[in-house]
Amino acid sequence: MAGRKPVPFIVFYGGEDYYLDRALEQGGHWPKRQVTVLDGEGMIEEELVAALQAQSFDGQDRAIVLDNAHKFGRKGGLLSTYVENKESSDDRMVLVAVVRAEKLNPVWSAAAKKGRVKEYKRFKPWEDDKKAQRIRKEAKALGLELAKGLPEQLTAALGDDLHLIMNELRKLVYIVGKGGKVELKHAASVVAHMYPAEPYDVSKAAVEKRPNRAMTLLSFLYKHMGDGAWVPVTISLQRLVEKLIVARQLYDDKAPQLVLARAVGVTTDKESAAEFVFRKNWLGLVQRHSLKELLGYMQKLCELEAQVKGPARSKRTLVELAVLSIAA
Amino acid sequence: MLSAVREQTEGARFLGRVVEGHLTSPLLLVGDEGTGRRFSVIEAAKDSFGDGDPESAHVLQIDEGVHPDLVVVSAGEKPIGVDTIRGVVDEASDFPAYVSSRFVIIDGVDRMTLPASDALLKTLEDPPHTTRFFLLAQVYENVLPTIRSRCGLVRYRPLSEAFIVEHLKEIEPDPAKALVYARISGGSVGRATQFQLSGRLALRNKMMTLLRVGLNGDFLSLFAAVEDLDVDLPLGLDFLDYILRDLVMLPHSASNFTNLDVAEELVDLRQQIGGPRVDRLVEGLRHLRGRMRAKITLPFHVKTFLASAFTE
């Protein structure tokens, strides 16, 4: 953090909490500056700007590390004016802002333009390749080499939470030693057996026609989220089925794979990569359901949503039946 | 002046009695937005404050919205809160500044928080003799029963097409379009004006395009068109309702059309869609409306409804 040339603003943002927490921790290390760590939660803009404008008693340069910076950003507010008036070359006060949001609001965008910005994107549930690549990169930083398929196994066992995955990787450093290769048996010895399911996992298992997995994930999800799980599962199923119905129609019309890939939301710039991702993650799903079936699912899911959001009884059974009717 | 109030005879009669001083109890004016509830109370205030003189200073002040004895409180996007009502109650207990009876209009008693309703109850039960309360609501059932029982009920009926067309003359030069606005306004001159000023027929045209896209059977374009409607989707469904009604009426009575300005296009559309599919669309929309009470994900439901109706 302190190694680079200081700028008045350093902005970290995105949905990946692990990296944001790390940025927050590292943000506090400024050897020749007086550092103040603040939390935007429960703080008002006036307090923040007053802290930014205050000077140290001994004339030392200062840095403020601000967590939950997304709580600020009122257009025309004090902070907005502060950012606007701050010269890019004035680094006596450096503000390190950790914005826990996928997008920057205009105030933080303006701050980012006058300083440095780094995005820590949370990958979509289906972006398995990117997730695996990131786990490998983090393992490498710890001095570990992961066996083939191990990142996928870790994600399957621990979910998307990078905090949990990093904890297990740190344990594995002790098991195999720095520079060692981690095999499945090593991972199995440290990773607790659990399935932290996301609503998307349930819907994916359902459209993959894996009823047992779908039901297991659904019960894990219920344990984790309680009755609050039914609406997210329904919405997740709706989104997936909607994508599949469009893709299936294009597939029936013999549209090129790139068109199909774009229709299901594969955003990779490189065309061949998009086609590859589509073939790997989507083609099987598209082929597994007919257009008529998918239309039937859409209608069922409309009914299900009205039921789970309405006063229906036994919502859990209703969702289970809907998942099973798709998965079976 | 109350003589300017047209169509709403019941409202004008009750308000006339208030002006004459024969009626002092609070009135609950129930009717759709834009049917002249607030307008008629303001006109009654002009009569009452200005003693029937249209040139009086009171009338001018009311027109400028600065008369201290005409208090208007309305629910905006948020319901009326308890603090607002406490302010009104405090003001009502004081003597009026210039006239013998102050007029207080609370527009949106059907969208008032429960504490706000409770705060108003006691004042309504025994209103200060120098204050007249006029509570405006769109949905009678949404008004607290204890408030309803303390007020005299005055119904405001939907306004006639002819009246709305007449009113729109100044802003809509095309009489066919003016009639369309009148028909889709549900008897509300306010809504008709709002539709005209915001060019809402463009949304109606979008819904017709949506049906054409549906005819092509291309889900990708159909779903994108639904997404494109964004926040206009609920109003778009109202327009779709009118379009479908026209498509149903076409073979029977072309004069009862709502969308007169696009009659030829509708004939063409009806031919392309075909009778059985029109029936399916009507049925599907009816189902969809039934589900809308549960705060559903509207775009997904609309996509499903259209995709099902257009798939053989």
How large is the ipTM?
0.73
**Domain spanning A199-327 has what CATH number?**
1.20.272.10
CB A317, CB B308: distance < 8 Å: no
Are A305 and B308 within 8 A, CB to CB? Answer: no
Question: What is the per-residue pLDDT for A43?
Answer: 84
- Residue A319 near residue A235, CB atoms below 8 Å: no
Q: State the pTM of this model.
A: 0.65
Contacts of B294 (CB under 8 A, 6+ apart): A305, A306, A309, A310
Chain B residues within 8 A of A242 when measuring between CB atoms: 223, 300, 303
CA nearest to A218, candidates A239, A200, A235: A200
- Kindly state the average pLDDT of the residues B229-243: 91
Residue B308 pLDDT level (bands cut at 50, 70, 90)? very high
CA–CA min distance A235, chain B (Å): 8
- Summarize the confidence of residues A1-17 as an average pLDDT: 81
What integer is the mean pLDDT of B118-122?
89
Residues belonging to chain B with any Cβ–Cβ distance to chain A shorter than 8 Å: 218-220, 223, 291, 293-297, 300-301, 303-305, 307-308, 311
CATH number of this structure's domain B201-310: 1.20.272.10
Of the candidates A269, A260, A325, which has an alpha carbon nearest to the alpha carbon of residue A298?
A325
Mean of pLDDT values over A126-142: 89
> Residue A16 and residue A119: Cα distance in Å, rounded?
9
**Cβ(A105)–Cβ(A69) under 8 Å?**
no
Question: A298 to chain B: which residues are within 8 Å by CB?
Answer: 300, 303-304, 307-308
For residues A48 and A36, the answer to whether their CB atoms sit within 8 Å is: no
Mean local confidence (pLDDT), B250-268 = 83
pLDDT value at position A3? 56
Task: Report chain A's mean pLDDT, rounded to a whole number.
Answer: 88
**Mean per-residue pLDDT for A106-117?**
91
User: For residue B168, how many other CB atoms are within 10 A of its CB?
Assistant: 23
pLDDT at residue A1 in the model:
53
* Structure tokens that stand for B157 in this block: 């009926």
Mean pLDDT of chain B: 88
pLDDT at B312: 66
The pLDDT of residue A240 is: 94
User: CB-CB: which of A242, A250, A299 is closest to B308?
Assistant: A299
Helices within chain A (DSSP H only): 17-27, 45-53, 78-85, 106-113, 128-141, 150-158, 162-176, 184-190, 199-207, 211-225, 230-252, 257-263, 271-278, 284-288, 291-309, 315-327
Report in angstroms the alpha-carbon separations of B33 from B191, B233, B249, B275.
Answer: 7, 20, 28, 35
Q: How far apart are CA A221 and CA A53, in angstroms?
A: 47
What is the CATH number assigned to the segment(s) A9-120? 3.40.50.300
**B39-56 pLDDT tens trace:** 999 999 998 888 878 788
Cα A151 to the chain's mean position, in Å?
Answer: 16
Decide which of A29 and B200 is more confident. Answer: B200
Answer yes or no: is pLDDT of B108 > 70: yes
**pLDDT higher than threshold 90 for residue A197:** no
The two tokens of residue B54 are 């249209």
Residue pLDDT, tens place only, B122-171: 888 888 888 999 999 999 998 999 999 999 999 999 988 888 988 888 88
Chain B partners within 8 Å of A291 (Cβ): 311
Quick one: average pLDDT of A10-21?
Answer: 91
* pLDDT of B136: 94
Task: Tell me how close the Cα of A264 comes to any Cα of chain B, in angstroms.
Answer: 10
* pLDDT tens sequence across A283-307: 999 999 999 999 999 999 999 999 9
Share of chain B above pLDDT 70, in %: 99
Q: Which of A231, A241, A302, A308 to mutate to test the interface with B (most CBs of B within 10 A)?
A: A302
Q: Assess whether pLDDT exceeds 60 at residue A163.
A: yes
> What does the pLDDT average to over A184-200?
77
Domain ranges of chain A: 9-120, 128-190, 199-327
Confidence (pLDDT) at A304: 94
Q: Flag whether pLDDT at B1 surpasses 80.
A: no
B279-303: average pLDDT: 90
Q: CB burial class (10 A; 0-12, 13-18, 19+) of residue B81?
A: middle
What is the pLDDT confidence band of residue A191, given thresholds at 50, 70 and 90? confident
What is the mean predicted confidence (pLDDT) over A156-184? 85
Which pLDDT belongs to residue A4? Answer: 66
What is the CATH number that goes with domain A128-190? Answer: 1.10.8.60
- Report whether B5 contacts B11 (CB < 8 A): yes
Residues A241-272: tens digit of each pLDDT? 999 999 999 999 999 999 999 988 888 778 88
Percent of chain A at pLDDT exceeding 70: 97
At the second CATH level, the architecture of B2-157 is 3-Layer(aba) Sandwich (3.40)
In degrees rounded to 5, what are phi and psi of residue A270?
-70, 130
What's the average model confidence in pLDDT over B219-226?
93
C-alpha closest to that of A154 among A189, A199, A197, A187: A187
C-alpha A130 chain-centroid distance: 11
Express as a percent the part of chain B with pLDDT over 90. 32
- Per-residue model confidence as pLDDT tens digits over A200-247: 989 999 999 999 889 988 988 888 888 899 999 999 999 999 999 999
Model confidence at A281, pLDDT cuts 50, 70, 90, reads: confident
Q: How far apart are CA B223 and CA B203, in angstroms?
A: 16
pLDDT of residue A194: 58
A37 interfacial to chain B (CB closer than 8 Å): no
Instruction: Tell whether the model's pLDDT for residue A88 goes beyond 90.
Output: no
CA distance B120 to B104: 12
